[in-house]
Amino acid sequence: MEFSFGGPIANSAYAHVRGVLQPAILNHSVRVWLLADHMGRREGVDGLEREALAVACLFHDAGTADLYDGSQRFEVEGADAAHAFLSGHDWPAPLVQKVWEAVALHTSPGIAERMGVLPKLVRLGVMADFGTTNLAGTGGDEDMAELLKDLPRMDIEAVLSDVVVSQALRSPGKAPSSSWPGGLLAAHLANPGHTGVNPAF
């Protein structure tokens, strides 16, 4: 199914991440965009800010891709990838910085929600996809449910945690003990024979 992400740069971002992300992570990223956009439109997010939200959602797990498997936490690698992608476009620097923050902070509960509209919406979109997609009372619930059904989950919880742990095993510096990747790594090391969703997910 084809989606429009609010503008040509965001559509180009989708074409890019589609070529580097695992299918389960790509589907998750698009679901996060649909959920974040749904919430954002209720808050009046439109125009270039809406397109920036799409770029942030699409890149929020880009650090799991082999292309962006650097020495930093996957969240920071993804944020740097989004910043590099946007560097060739004539966007206001503060908006590019907000995209960076939205990606870098999406696993930081209680912080992302207070860093402005884009970090908050990406965080809430991620939470909605992993927690609940029940948008009762917000309008458009049935349409949203239909859109999400076209993007199968494909065991995203297991796929994402496995990638993050695999990166951390190769480069422990990517998983500081107080971070979400660090929690996943610690749970894996405590029970290396465990299969399925990481208990720290």
How many other CB atoms sit within 10 Å of the CB of residue 140? 12
pLDDT value at position 136? 43
Report pLDDT digits (tens) over 118-162.
999 999 999 999 985 555 444 556 677 778 888 999 999 999 999
Report pLDDT digits (tens) over 75-120.
999 999 999 999 989 899 999 999 999 999 999 999 999 999 999 9
pTM of the model: 0.93
Write down the number of H helices and E strands in the chain: 9, 0
The answer to whether 58 and 17 have CB atoms below 8 angstroms apart is yes
The answer to whether 8 and 110 have CB atoms below 8 angstroms apart is no
Looking at the predicted structure, is the pLDDT value of residue 191 above 60?
A: yes
The answer to whether 4 and 114 have CB atoms below 8 angstroms apart is no
Residue in the block written with tokens 């994402």: 160
Ordered structural domains, the chain, with CATH: 8-152 (1.10.3210), 155-201 (no CATH)
d(CA 7, CA 110) in angstroms, rounded, equals: 30
